[in-house]
Amino acid sequence: MKKQLLSRLTILALTGTICTSVFSPSLTAYANERNLKNINTTYSNSITVDGITYSAEDIADSIRPNIDYSTDYSEGIRERSAVTKAIKTAVKWLKGNWQVVYSRLPNWMKKYFKFDAFFNLVDTFIGISDSVEDFFHRVFRAMGMPENVNWFITNVIMLLLPI
């Protein structure tokens, strides 16, 4: 009786292990493919929410006239890395123009774009980002933004930056 129970448990464990090892790669590949499709669509400069399509260029064009580009935001920033200097300049620029940028964003987007949450995460990602765009994308992801909104807001900011 014990021998029969032990052999059944062994067969059950082996069957579970084999099934997991067979199906796990296919599930991972499926998830990666879906994620890749989602990310590819988010690189677009437009987003559709509730049937309304928003263009990153149009939003940037509506914000641009209200920004004073005469201020040199890179003044006083001393960094050895050009990327870090560019990121710190971009952060300084965004801090100086936050109200203008925030006021011109569509209302549905404002819930994702919080001043305190953004500037609390800035120092975490400055040293590990490869570019200004990568920096904004990482910070927005850490804030909990959905990927499509993340890329869209990043594109708007990249269009506005004076660097």
Between 73-82, 110-119, 139-148, the lowest mean confidence (pLDDT) is in 73-82
134 in the same domain as 58: yes
The residues, any chain, with a CB within 8 Å of residue 161's CB and separated by 6 or more, are 90, 93, 132
Among 65, 156, 62, 142, residue whose Cα is nearest residue 109: 156
125 in the same domain as 81: yes
Strand partners, 55: 46
Domain around 82: 46-160
Q: What integer pLDDT is reported at residue 66 of this predicted model? A: 73
Give the position of tokens 């506005």.
160
109 in the same domain as 58: yes
Q: Per-residue pLDDT for 147 more than 80? A: yes
- At residue 42 the predicted structure's pLDDT band, cuts being 50, 70 and 90, is very low
Q: What integer pLDDT is reported at residue 30 of this predicted model? A: 53
Q: Check residue 98 and report its DSSP letter.
A: H
Residue 41: Cβ within 10 Å count: 12
132 in the same domain as 77: yes
Region 34-63: mean pLDDT is 65
124 in the same domain as 62: yes
d(C-alpha 76, C-alpha 158), whole Å? 22
Per the structure, the count of domains in the chain is 2
d(C-alpha 98, C-alpha 103), whole Å? 8
The residue with greater pLDDT, 75 or 128, is: 128
112 in the same domain as 83: yes
Q: Per-residue pLDDT for 34 more than 80? A: no
52 in the same domain as 29: no
